[in-house]
């Protein structure tokens, strides 16, 4: 099993180099840290070193917004390299009623000789800079040459089987085995990454016989066997600046409606069928409501104004909005909807799209496709009833960051820098479909942008790769649904959503 790295004991919740400080407890839970008399720049320096940065640049605090069960107090001298070397205590409340936030210095190029990186950092040789070691093999290229995402097979894969495990499919007996029995009396909660993190007897300490050997069949992929495969269409692939699609060309696209009696339904977002019971979409689609009773989903839809024979309509039984989603920045802009029944995927018009596998390289500088029923005019005023599609390139991350300073590692840009083709209002949550070999994979989710199809204002998409674990855990029932917040009425639904 991959051993637990020391930097996993502390994290910044927010952005890659800044956010709310949390410390991991022995039971696997996370405690926020009190911003009290011990919360000093010296302590912040230790935290930044612990998570792989050279230094801290800003120390802050904020009033506790939601009371947690427990908090941690952190006391460091300032010379420590790890929070594990500091004194930590657990308390039920913070005396100052404030929690700790900080910002660490982002990695920078170092001139005048080779960079000297700590054991919690990784050296990007081309630009001669140190990045946090936890950024290695995280599906995001932080080195200009992608060196931090190379030779990642061992880190990405589960050593038991040589492939990624997505949960147990069933328990099965394979008969009596032979040899040493290593583990007995094991108890897991379900969130552990390794059985070595579960409570158990010491190795080889047991009172079993091989007649009690346990066997399981594991899922090696969250994807259905026939995902991402579509019936060939004679019409070539031809949204703003896009072209009319054809029925069944994108059989995983879902239209999502807001339904509030006695009003009629109005389509406000799109999504992607990733299994027969799950739709992946954008979290910001639910900024105004997380009440599942307001949501309707249609699959197999082509024309919003006519009932298509291939249509299947569903209610939502649960909504799962990523717990770290922030409305102001659209970071972690991803959500899952559980359908009230399995979709019929035996037709050519309703199929699931494949999720990318963690062992595959991330999509980079590829051409992908977007589809949706959003506005087709650059002013955002002309909404289409017919499914549109467009082919667009994924842009270099450095170029994208120069255009959008608020871009995070969970986002990527797609489109043309000279404008003309883009997603727009109403396309939110829809699929960025990318071809890999003979199947289509979900490279991203339509998230946000500045205008529609404007020069030097490409669309921004939430990457799916960084969220594979969250998606899988949610579909396996390991996460809790979002609390229900009733819809706040507005006469103009088109003003609800950014894309």
**Among all residues, which ones are annotated catalytic?**
284, 333, 428
The full DSSP string for 179-237 is: S-----S-B--S--SSGGGSB-PPTT-----GGG---EEE-S-SS-TTTT-----SSPP
**How far apart are alpha carbons 15 and 105 in whole angstroms?**
12
Residues constituting the chain: 499
Helix or strand run (H / E) with residue 402: helix 397-403
Contact between 443 and 459 under an 8 Å Cβ cutoff? The reply is no
- What is the rounded CA–CA span in Å between residue 452 and residue 241? 10
Handedness of CA 270, 275, 277, 280 (dihedral sign): negative
d(CA 323, CA 319): 12
Give me the half-sphere count of Cα atoms (radius 13 Å) on the Cβ side of residue 444.
32
Q: Are strands 71-75 and 30-33 parallel, antiparallel or unpaired?
A: parallel
Q: Can you tell me the distance from the alpha carbon of 388 to that of 369, in angstroms, rounded to the nearest whole number? A: 10
């Amino acid at each position: 099993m991959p051993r637990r790295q020391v930097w996993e004991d502390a994290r910044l919740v927010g952005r890659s180099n800044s956010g709310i400080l949390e410390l991991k407890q022995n039971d696997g839970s996370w405690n926020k840290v009190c911003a009290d008399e011990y919360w000093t720049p010296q302590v912040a320096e230790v935290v930044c070193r612990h998570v792989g940065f050279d230094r801290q640049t800003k120390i802050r605090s904020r009033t506790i917004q939601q009371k947690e069960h427990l908090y941690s107090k952190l006391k460091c001298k300032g010379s420590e390299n790890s929070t594990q070397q500091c004194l930590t205590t657990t308390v039920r409340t913070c005396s100052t009623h404030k929690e700790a936030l900080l910002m660490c210095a982002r990695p920078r190029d170092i001139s005048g000789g080779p960079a000297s990186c700590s054991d919690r950092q990784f050296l990007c040789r081309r630009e001669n800079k140190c990045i946090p070691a936890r950024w290695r093999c995280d599906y995001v290229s932080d080195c200009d040459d992608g060196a931090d995402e190379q030779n990642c097979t061992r880190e990405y894969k589960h050593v038991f089987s040589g492939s990624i495990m997505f949960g147990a499919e069933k328990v099965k007996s394979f008969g009596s085995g032979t040899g040493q029995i290593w583990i007995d009396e094991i108890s897991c909660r379900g969130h552990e990454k390794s059985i070595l993190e579960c409570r158990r007897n010491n190795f080889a300490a047991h009172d079993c016989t091989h007649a009690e050997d346990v066997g399981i069949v594991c899922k090696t992929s969250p994807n259905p066997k026939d995902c991402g495969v579509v019936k060939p269409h004679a019409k070539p692939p031809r949204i703003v600046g896009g072209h009319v699609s054809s029925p069944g060309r994108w059989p995983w696209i879902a239209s999502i409606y807001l339904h509030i009696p006695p009003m009629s339904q109005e389509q406000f977002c799109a999504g992607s069928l990733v299994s027969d019971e799950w739709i992946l979409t954008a979290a910001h689609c639910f900024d105004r409501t997380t009440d599942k009773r307001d949501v309707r989903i249609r699959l197999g839809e082509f024309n919003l104004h006519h009932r298509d024979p291939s249509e299947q309509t569903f209610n939502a039984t649960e909504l799962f909005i990523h717990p770290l989603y922030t409305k102001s920045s659209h970071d972690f802009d991803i959500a899952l909807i559980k359908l009230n029944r399995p979709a019929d995927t035996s037709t050519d018009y309703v199929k699931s799209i494949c999720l990318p596998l963690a062992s595959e390289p991330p999509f980079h500088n590829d051409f992908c496709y977007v589809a949706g029923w959003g506005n087709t005019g650059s002013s955002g005023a002309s909404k289409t009833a017919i499914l549109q599609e467009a082919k667009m390139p994924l842009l270099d991350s450095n170029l994208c960051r120069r255009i959008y300073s608020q871009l995070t590692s969970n986002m990527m840009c797609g489109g043309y820098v000279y404008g003309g083709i883009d997603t727009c209002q109403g396309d939110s949550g829809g699929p960025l479909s990318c071809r890999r070999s003979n199947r289509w994979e979900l490279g991203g989710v339509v998230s946000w942008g500045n205008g529609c199809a404007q020069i030097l204002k490409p669309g921004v998409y939430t990457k799916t790769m960084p969220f594979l674990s969250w998606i899988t855990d949610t579909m396996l029932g390991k996460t809790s649904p979002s609390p229900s917040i009733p819809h706040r009425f507005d006469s103009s639904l088109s003003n609800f959503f950014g894309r």
